[in-house]
A = this chain, B = another copy of it.
């Protein structure tokens, strides 16, 4: 099935029953070493860790790298979907996502410094036979609809609960 057909089928399903638009995702992490975290996400398992300079064994990319992985991959896939939607030919795509962090925020050395990224840079290089203008039109559509770019660019309501076993 083409992505265009998949999108049209989704539109029909959601118009018939808006509840079909609701999707829920869940992942579980278990701290299994000093900084090693074993992750389950659906049927997938992976390891998140810190490099030795942060007390870990570098068994996987670290949490903030995973945030950049989410952003880079979401951009790439959103380019694919919106290229299909807009009828723009897309042969390939490379995305580089960079983030700057000031570790004084994380360590609490200076609480005027935010713990998260202070700046993020995205560099996207699409390839294919279309004009630069068409790819710019694609980029604009992608940036308006990319879920993880939206997460980075806006605030998200978070409910946090902690339970200590009795």
- Main secondary structure, interface of A, reads mixed
Chain B nearest CB, measured from A132 CB (Å): 4
Contact assessment for B24 and A145 in the assembled complex, using a CB-CB cutoff below 8 Å:
no
Of listed A11, A80, A164, residue having the most chain B CB within 10 A: A164
Contact assessment for B159 and A135 in the assembled complex, using a CB-CB cutoff below 8 Å:
no
With A48-B77, A78-B106, A111-B144 known, 12 other A-B pairs at CB within 8 A are A10-B109, A23-B100, A27-B96, A28-B94, A37-B73, A44-B65, A66-B73, A114-B154, A116-B147, A118-B157, A121-B158, A124-B163
Chain B nearest CB, measured from A138 CB (Å): 9
0/1 interface trace, chain A 117-156, chain B, CB 8 Å (1 if under): 1111111111100001001100101011111111111111
* Chain A residues within CB distance 8 Å of chain B: 1, 3, 6-7, 10-11, 14-15, 18, 21-32, 34-35, 37, 39, 41-44, 46, 48, 50-51, 54-55, 58, 60-82, 85, 90, 92-109, 111, 113-127, 132, 135-136, 139, 141, 143-165
Contact assessment for B24 and A107 in the assembled complex, using a CB-CB cutoff below 8 Å:
no
Chain B nearest CB, measured from A112 CB (Å): 12
Contact assessment for A106 and B81 in the assembled complex, using a CB-CB cutoff below 8 Å:
yes
Contact assessment for B29 and A107 in the assembled complex, using a CB-CB cutoff below 8 Å:
no
**Which of B28, B43, B72 is in CB contact (< 8 Å) with A72?**
B28
Knowing A121-B158, A158-B120, say if A29 contacts B109 (CB, 8 Å). Answer: no
